Amino acid sequence: MNGKLGALVWMNRICGFATQKMQRLLAIAGDADIRRQFPSLYARVAQMMGSDTAGLMMQTCTDEELLNREFDLLARAGIRTISYADEEYPALLKEIPLPPLLLYCKGDISLMQTRCIGIVGSRDPSRYGLEVTELFSKTLAKCGLTIVSGLARGIDSTAHRAALEAGGKTIAVLGCGIDKIYPADNAPLYKKIEKDGLLISEYGPGVPASNFQFPERNRIISGLSEGVLVTEAGQKSGSLHTANNAVDQGRDLYVVPCNITSSRGFGSNMLIKKMPHCAVFSPDDVAERLGIHGYKEPVSAMQLDFIEEKLVAGLGYAELNFEQLLELTGLGASELNATLTKLELFGIIKKLDNNYYGV
Amino acid sequence: MTYSAADGILAEVQAGEYLEKKGYRILDRNIAYKGAGELDIVCEDKKTIVVVEVRYRKDGEYGSPLESITKPKMRRIIRTAERYLAERKLYDRPVRFDVVCVTDRGCEHVVNAFYGDFY
Amino acid sequence: MLAVIKSYALEGIEGYPVDIEVDVQSGIPGFDIVGLPGSSIKEARNRVRSAIRNSSFDFMPRKVTVNLAPADTEKNGSAFDLPIAVGFLAGTEQIPDAALKDYVIIGELSLDGGVRRVNGILPLLISALMAGHKKFIVPRDNAKEASYILGAEVYALQTLSEVCSFLGGILDSKPVEHSEYSSDPGVNKYGIDLSDVKGQNAAKRALEIAVAGGHNLLMCGPPGAGKTMLAKCVPTIMPDMTFEEAIETTKIHSVAGCTDSEQGVITLRPFRTPHHTASLISMIGGGPNSKPGEVSLAHNGVLFLDEMPEYQSKTLETLRQPLEDGFITVTRIHRVIEYPAGFMLIASMNPCPCGYDGSRIKECTCTPLEKRRYKSRISGPLLDRIDIYADVDGVDYSDLKTGIPGENSAAVKARVEKARRIQRERFAGTLTHTNARMSNAQIKKFCTLTPGCDRLVEIAFDRFKLSARGVSRIIKTARTIADLRGGAEICETDIAEAIQYRVRETEA
């Protein structure tokens, strides 16, 4: 059944081959259905991969029941499989060297046809990094772009979360089996993305997370996207890898400048030093380069009074703590708290750590 | 130096004389039961039965003679006294345990040296 | 001859009568104590013997049997020394026994015949008084504590011979004069004042609300921001203890043996700061001597847990019962004891293990895993019992220098007392005393929301992803804010302010 898809699932799930091997096997088979024609290909496969492997393949190649059971399992877990030959397979991804032949998906697969932008960064970001990520992710999501990231801790999670919060769409590319949640504390986010976005992985259910898979995952992030935005990357961050992938694949690279006194943004700044043209200073910069109109916040429906106006203006200038706000507004602690809540409720300001507030 | 049996007998005689001088009436000497211990002197001070243990020491040697009465020794004396009182049907009389130390300088009498429960 | 002395023993923070029967017989001398004496009571015979001899009485070699009736409950402590000694002296007819039956005698003996103070005099005497006993002989050092009990005729004596001559009618001693309870309103005796804390107006306001409504409070801020100092100020803005509260608190402290013989009754609200290595037993009470724990010692006062996530999670979880019910049940092998534990919980924590997460001054060095572990040490059920969450500012040096001294404790206390008065009237006739303890039915009854407030809560519910319980906490806090304002209705600003103090658990 299922021609190409069946062959891929057979190779990947039953024989346990990764993309590279599958590609070589397909090259041997050419146009023929590798599964059905396997006996005739046996000699060449055995020469290439050894007779043990080829023998295993020989045993299973016509076992329809085994394959059906596998499909059944995937269907019951709510996992869609998309091969590179399917029309749902994103065109952009085909362009990269060694594209994934088989994608496991959970969620809304139509998202792969939308315009995507990757947002990646450090797993141990600074507050600034998180802030920048949130700002870019939210705004770009509101512009209609789908935010692609890797569901890792730190910047990745924040990018996903911000996109969903802004009502936008997001794709998470996993570096482990499609049913594995890694890191485990992202479980709520995983569920949310499954519901409102899309989870994809090159790895079938049950494949544990392992170090070499994450760089491979990175090539899919950049492959899916028209451009990749690095919001904060340290010196040895994996996001630098994604950035290089993006350049190799001919995608746009955008890098947000970071604090030069902090080691957490060192990698980003080095990227800018190497490729000054990739520096971006606002979400609008990115939108402009992608040729879309920047997103304008609709003017808040809430009418601000004089003091609130003053407070917002003050916070626009710098983040202030409670004491400074008391001084600025001349209010008492109780009224100031009430005012802050109102502004916070309408999303105009937000509370930061250590009792600081910002716009 | 070592003590001979004669030293011990001499000491008990001295102690008996001393107690009689104090007005105690000697009831028995050297009560011994098989399997139990020995009572040196049992006497009577008015209504109270006084069980006396006699100790003999040269002056100041090896600490006070009182210290040589250990808990097991007391326990033995108490057990023997119980038996003695039962045999003589004296158990409704107040009882007291005294120690008389005989030294070269004379006798030293410790009233109520220990109680039935060692305290 | 047999002598019977009345005494009292402690069970939790109540006393129960113990008859001390001393039987003196002829025979092989000995001194036996029966009736499940603990080891401190078994040792009483040594103290009693020496005390009697050193008080120039005769410790006659007799067969003595002391029974502590009821014989089936285990007894502990040294408070039976004096009654046993008196019983022996009466049993050997060295003192007359005619007057004995009128008195309840409590006291520990020292070897020289002195009478030493004992723990728990206040609860013992109160229980005895309620059982109909009027006359008491207690140690002199316990006199002040006993003097607060109205209607008791307390004789505080210093030595065994004094006690004997008093019982024999030779010594004429006056009963202890009754002390009137006064809490000196208006005087701050805590040695710290809210005006000593510079800046921190947000946290101060949160404290005021927390105290006014009896809400539990969690403060979060970087090290050295003044969380501990703020917490120490809490007793200074709490209303003064009433006599009933003072007696309750003193009872517990008396049982634990930490009352002061000068002071007698505890007039200051307790402020307990158990260290984070505190064991379970030191926290909730119990142990071999069945002492009340920190939660009980903080009764009517403040239990301050500095660096809350550093406490053992087992210890923290035990706080759930007292936070819910106001008492703690300690189950021992022989019995179940209930200690009151109605305290206000004030906890502090850092934003992360190193303390500098989000700080402007220092970079945080914690890994995400460490941060998550740190925060997850405070369990959800415990957080559910904390109504108010306050962020404490990191303090700049300039703030310290220029900070205008804020209000002093007395001003805040006046407002708190007003708010508490409103609550007393509101909850008159119910078991609830403060807004924090309102039941759901009471919330419905006393916290009607205007449509404007309703809308505000609704928006907050969606935007901040509050839980149903989170909403009821906000409403309770808003009720207190309205009470502080003197408003009958909760208005929008009250709700808005209360929302600022919500526990921000899932954010960031």
Average pLDDT over residues B84-111: 86
**pLDDT (0 to 100) of residue C402:** 61
Determine the distance in angstroms separating the CA of B110 from the nearest CA of chain C, rounded to an integer.
13
Q: What is the pLDDT of residues C370-429, one digit of tens each?
A: 888 888 888 888 888 888 998 887 666 556 666 566 788 888 999 999 999 999 899 888
Please indicate whether chains C and A are in contact, defined as at least 3 beta carbon pairs under 8 Å.
yes
Interface of C with A (CB under 8 A): 199-202, 204-205, 221-222, 351, 357-360, 363, 367-368, 372, 391-394, 399, 403, 456, 459-460, 463, 481, 492-494, 496-497, 499-501, 504, 508
Q: Are residues A12 and A121 in the same domain?
A: no
Q: Are residues A188 and A239 in the same domain?
A: yes
In order, the DSSP letters of C16-42 are EEEEEEEEEESBS-EEEEESSB-HHHH
Our CA angle for C46, B68, B73, nearest 5°, is: 70
CATH of the domain at A327: 1.10.10.10
Residue A91 lies in a domain: no
**pLDDT (0 to 100) of residue C477:** 93
Q: Which tokens sit at C479?
A: 């009720």
Q: How many domains does chain A have?
A: 3
Residue A341 lies in a domain: yes
**pLDDT (0 to 100) of residue C183:** 67
Domains plus CATH for chain B? 5-114 (3.40.1350.10)
Q: Are residues A28 and A139 in the same domain?
A: no
Going by their DSSP bridges, the two strands C103-105 and C135-139 should be labelled as parallel
Q: Are residues A279 and A317 in the same domain?
A: no
Percent of chain C with pLDDT over 90: 36
**pLDDT (0 to 100) of residue C359:** 74
Q: Are residues A282 and A310 in the same domain?
A: no
User: Three-state DSSP class for C327?
Assistant: strand
- pLDDT of C88 over the 90 cut: yes
- pLDDT of C508 over the 50 cut: no
**pLDDT (0 to 100) of residue C506:** 44
| 36-95 of C, contacting B, C-beta below 8 A | 45-46, 49, 59-63
User: Three-state DSSP class for C332?
Assistant: coil
Residue A65 lies in a domain: yes
Answer yes or no: are the C-beta atoms of A140 and A288 closer than 8 Å: no
**Bridge partners of C449?**
C490
Q: Are residues A175 and A27 in the same domain?
A: no
Our CA angle for B7, B13, B16, nearest 5°, is: 140
Residue A97 lies in a domain: no
Q: Which of B75, B80, B119 to mutate to test the interface with C (most CBs of C within 10 A)?
A: B119
| 265-294 of C, contacting B, C-beta below 8 A | none
Q: Are residues A269 and A164 in the same domain?
A: yes
Q: Are residues A217 and A328 in the same domain?
A: no
Residue A89 lies in a domain: no
CB contact under 8 A, C496 and A342: yes
Q: Identify the closest residue of chain B to C50 by CA–CA distance.
A: B119
CB contact under 8 A, A354 and C456: no
- Chain A contact set for C357 (CB, 8 A): 353
CB contact under 8 A, C61 and B115: yes
Residue A207 lies in a domain: yes
Average pLDDT over residues C347-365: 82
**pLDDT (0 to 100) of residue C107:** 95
Band of the pLDDT at C11, cuts 50, 70, 90?
confident
Residue A297 lies in a domain: no
Average pLDDT over residues C441-447: 89
Going from the C-alpha of A101 to that of each of A20, A104, A206, C71, C297, the distances in angstroms are 9, 10, 18, 86, 69
CATH of the domain at A212: 3.40.50.450
Q: What is the pLDDT of residues C210-239, one digit of tens each?
A: 999 999 999 988 888 888 889 989 989 998
Percent of chain B with pLDDT over 90: 22
Q: Which of C230, C393, C400 to mutate to test the interface with A (most CBs of A within 10 A)?
A: C393
- Chain B contact set for C45 (CB, 8 A): 119
Residues of the domain holding A198? 109-289
Q: What is the pLDDT of residues C93-107, one digit of tens each?
A: 999 988 888 999 999
**pLDDT (0 to 100) of residue C73:** 86
Q: Are residues A51 and A151 in the same domain?
A: no
**pLDDT (0 to 100) of residue B7:** 80
Determine the distance in angstroms separating the CA of C200 from the nearest CA of chain A, rounded to an integer.
7
Q: Are residues A274 and A314 in the same domain?
A: no
**Beta strand segments in C164-309, E:** 217-220, 271-272, 285-286, 291-292, 302-305
**pLDDT (0 to 100) of residue C462:** 84
Domains plus CATH for chain C? 2-167 (3.30.230.10), 194-407 (3.40.50.300), 438-508 (1.10.8)
Q: What is the pLDDT of residues A18-61, one digit of tens each?
A: 888 888 888 888 777 888 888 888 888 888 888 888 888 888 88
Which helix (H) or strand (E) segment holds residue C183: the answer is: none
**pLDDT (0 to 100) of residue B62:** 61
How many beta-carbon contacts under 8 Å exist across B and C? 48
Mean pLDDT of chain C: 87
Determine the distance in angstroms separating the CA of B81 from the nearest CA of chain C, rounded to an integer.
8
Percent of chain C with pLDDT over 70: 95
- Chain B contact set for C50 (CB, 8 A): none
Q: Are residues A149 and A281 in the same domain?
A: yes
Residues in chain A: 359
Determine the distance in angstroms separating the CA of B118 from the nearest CA of chain C, rounded to an integer.
8
CB contact under 8 A, C221 and A355: yes
**Beta strand segments in C394-503, E:** none
Q: Are residues A145 and A249 in the same domain?
A: yes
Q: What is the pLDDT of residues C20-76, one digit of tens each?
A: 999 998 888 889 999 989 888 989 988 999 999 999 998 888 889 999 989 888 888
Most confident residue range from B33-37, B75-79, C461-465: B75-79
Residue from the list B85, B93, B119 with its beta carbon closest to the beta carbon of C46? B119
CB contact under 8 A, C27 and B94: yes
Residue A327 lies in a domain: yes
Answer yes or no: are the C-beta atoms of C221 and C391 closer than 8 Å: yes
Band of the pLDDT at C121, cuts 50, 70, 90?
very high
Q: Between A333-345 and A322-329, two packed helices, what is the crossing angle to 10 degrees?
A: 100
Average pLDDT over residues C3-27: 91
Please indicate whether chains C and B are in contact, defined as at least 3 beta carbon pairs under 8 Å.
yes
**Does the N-terminal peptide bond of residue A276 adopt cis geometry, omega within 30 degrees of 0?**
no
Q: Identify the closest residue of chain C to B91 by CA–CA distance.
A: C27
pLDDT beneath 70, residues of chain A: 1-2, 294-302
Mean pLDDT of chain B: 84
Q: Identify the closest residue of chain C to A331 by CA–CA distance.
A: C201
**pLDDT (0 to 100) of residue C371:** 83
User: Three-state DSSP class for A176?
Assistant: coil
